[in-house]
Amino acid sequence: MPVNPLLALVNGRVLGDHGPREGLAVLVRGKRIVAIVAHDDARIAEAQKHDLRGNLLLPGFIDVQVNGGGGLLFNDAPTVDTLRGIAAAHRQFGTTGMLPTFITDTAEKMHAALQAVDDAIEQRVPGILGIHVEGPFLANARKGIHNADLFRLPDDSDVEALIAPHKGPVMLTLAPDQVPLPVIARLTSAGVIVVAGHTAADYTATRAALDAGVCGFTHLYNAMTPLTGRDPGVVGAALDDPHSWCGLIVDGHHVHPATLRVAIAAKARGKCVLVTDAMPPVGSDRPDYVLNGQTIIMRDGICQNEAGVLAGSGLDMAGAVRNAVQMLGLPLAEASRMASSYPAAWIGLQHTHGRIAAGYQADFAIMDDTLTVQETWLAGVPYSMV
C-alpha cells in the first residue's frame, strides 16, 4: 500500500461557495485536498473510496474562542494533555481547528499557557492552531465572570511574552479603555491579533483603538458598551467599522436572534464569525465545573453561577451552525463559512484552512440533514462520531 494513498470521498453533497452540490468527489492525499472532481473522473477508480452515504460535506469548523471541553478547563491546567483532551471533545462536533482560550489569571499561568500551546503545536496535537488570551487587561465595569482582582495593565514582560515567536496565531482580548494606544500598536505591529472585549470604552476610544490596530470584537454585544441613539458605544464602533471581525455566540441566550441579525446585516460579508466560548460541559456528561472558586452549572445549555452571571457557554460549533440556519435564517453555505473560512481569515490561515479546495488541509465536518455531525476529518484522518 502506498504511504500516502489517494482517497476519494464519494456519494456526498459537497458544500462549496454556492451551496451543496451533488455529483462531486473530493480527492485527498495525505493531509491535503488534491482536487474536487466529477463523480466519473478517472482518478476515482484508482483511489480508495470513502462513501459519504449522501451526507453533507462541509469544511471543518474553526473556533477562535474555546475555554474548555470534555470536562477540562484550560485555566485549570495549562498543559499539552489538557489541550489534547479539549480538542478531542470538540472534534465530535466538527471542530478541526481552535484557539484554546486562556482567561484572566496570573502572569505566571498566562506564560505557561502560551508555552503549552507552542508545545502542543510542536507535538502536532490535532486541532490546536494557536491561542486566545482573554484578559487580564480588561475593565472592571464589564468584567462578566472574570476575576477582577487579577486585572492589571500589561507590563513589559507581558508584552514580550505575547510578541515572542510562537508556533501559531496569538489572539489577545483587551479593553481599549484600559490599555494605552502605544501598547496596542506595539502588539499589533508584532503580529498579535488584538481584539476588544470586556470593555467600558466609548465610541471615540474604540475608534482610536481600531486605528491603532484592534481588528475585532470578542463576543459582540456581551461585556461591552451598547449602541444607543446618542452614544454608539463599542457596539456602534464595531458595526460601523467595515474592516473588523465580530465573534458571535449564537446560542439563543447570550444575544437575542434579532440582535444578531442586525449585526450580520450591518457588517461586511465575511466579518461575522461563529464562536462558542465553550466551557468544560461541552462533550462531557458533567454539567458543573469550578471557575474562580465559583461553582458553575449548565442548565438548558446555559452556563451560570449562582448569581445568574453567564460563564461561557455550553455551545458546540455544530450547534452554532445549526442555530445560525434555524434561528437566524441564514443559508447553510453562509453559516458554514462563518464557522470555517471567515475565522480562518481572521487568524491569517485563509490560504490553508477553512475551504474545500485543492491545496487546502483535508479538514471536514460530515453532517446529515439535521446538521448533526456524523464524521470529522482532520488533516486527512477520519474520526467517526456514530
* Residues that are catalytic: 277
Separation between Cα atoms, residue 176 and residue 243, nearest integer Å: 17
310 is known to lie in a ligand binding site = yes
Q: What is the CA radius of gyration of the chain?
A: 20
Known binding residue 72? Answer is no
166 is in an annotated binding site: no
253 belongs to an annotated ligand binding site: no
- Would the annotation count 223 as a binding residue? yes
Q: Which long-range contacts (CB under 8 A, 24 or more apart) does 365-368 make?
A: 365/58, 365/59, 365/60, 365/61, 365/94, 365/96, 365/318, 366/12, 366/52, 366/55, 366/56, 366/57, 366/58, 367/55, 367/56, 367/58, 367/94, 367/318, 368/55, 368/56
State yes or no: 243 annotated in a binding site. Answer: no
Under a CB-based contact definition with an 8 Å cutoff, are residues 366 and 353 in contact?
no
Is 131 known to sit in a ligand binding site?
no
Q: Is 132 helix (H, G, I), strand (E, B) or coil?
A: strand
What is residue 242's three-state secondary structure?
A: coil
User: What count of other Cβ atoms lies within 10 Å of the Cβ of residue 270?
Assistant: 15
The answer to whether the annotation marks 222 as part of a ligand binding site is: yes
230 is in an annotated binding site: yes
Q: Which residues are annotated as a binding site for substrate?
A: 145, 222-223, 230, 254, 310-312
